[in-house]
Amino acid sequence: MKTKRLHPLELEVMKVVWKLTRATVNDVLDNIDRKLAYTTVATTMKSLEKKGFLSHQVEGRTFVYQPLVQEAEIKHSMLNDLLERLFDNSAEKLVNTLLEVRQTSSDEYNRLQALINNYQPEGEETDD
């Protein structure tokens, strides 16, 4: 499967569209965390549509965009790409590096430990 990778601005725009489920350029401008020109967002959304990430409908004279891919699909694709390129497909190396470079609270550490303890690899059954 080809990696579905988004550039930082594309990802910011997609996060707004996913959150709103459908959005105009002005909706994105109102909900994005930084000041951008209308034309920058419009061009980015047209590019995302051309790449197959968004589609649009015309309502009056306004383009209303909706996502064609789920947020989880992009997260999985980009994380798999990162794992392969930087960590030799090793989740252990990824987690180790994450813990080395990021301050983790004891609450977050405990939640991570619980996730690991409760994780069931595909195809393996519990001893119930």
Give the pLDDT of residue 32: 96
Give the pLDDT of residue 111: 93
> What mean pLDDT, rounded, does the chain reach?
92
Exposure string (b/e) for 28-56, b if CB count within 10 Å is 16 or more? Answer: bbeeeeeebeeeebbebbeebeeeebbeb
Average pLDDT over residues 18-23: 98
Q: Which of 24-28, 30-34, 80-84, 118-122 has the lowest mean pLDDT?
A: 118-122
Average pLDDT over residues 67-93: 94
Percent of the chain beyond pLDDT 70? 94
Give the pLDDT of residue 1: 42
Please report the DSSP string for 64-97 in residue order. Answer: EEEESS-HHHHHHHHHHHHHHHHHTT-HHHHHHH
For residue 126, what pLDDT band results from cuts at 50, 70 and 90?
low
DSSP 126: -
pLDDT of residue 40 exceeding 60, the answer is: yes
For residue 124, what pLDDT band results from cuts at 50, 70 and 90?
low
Tokens, residue 67 = 């996502």
For residue 120, what pLDDT band results from cuts at 50, 70 and 90?
confident
Enter the pTM of the model: 0.80
CATH of 1-87 among 1.10.630.10, 1.10.10.10, 3.40.50.1580, 3.40.980.10: 1.10.10.10
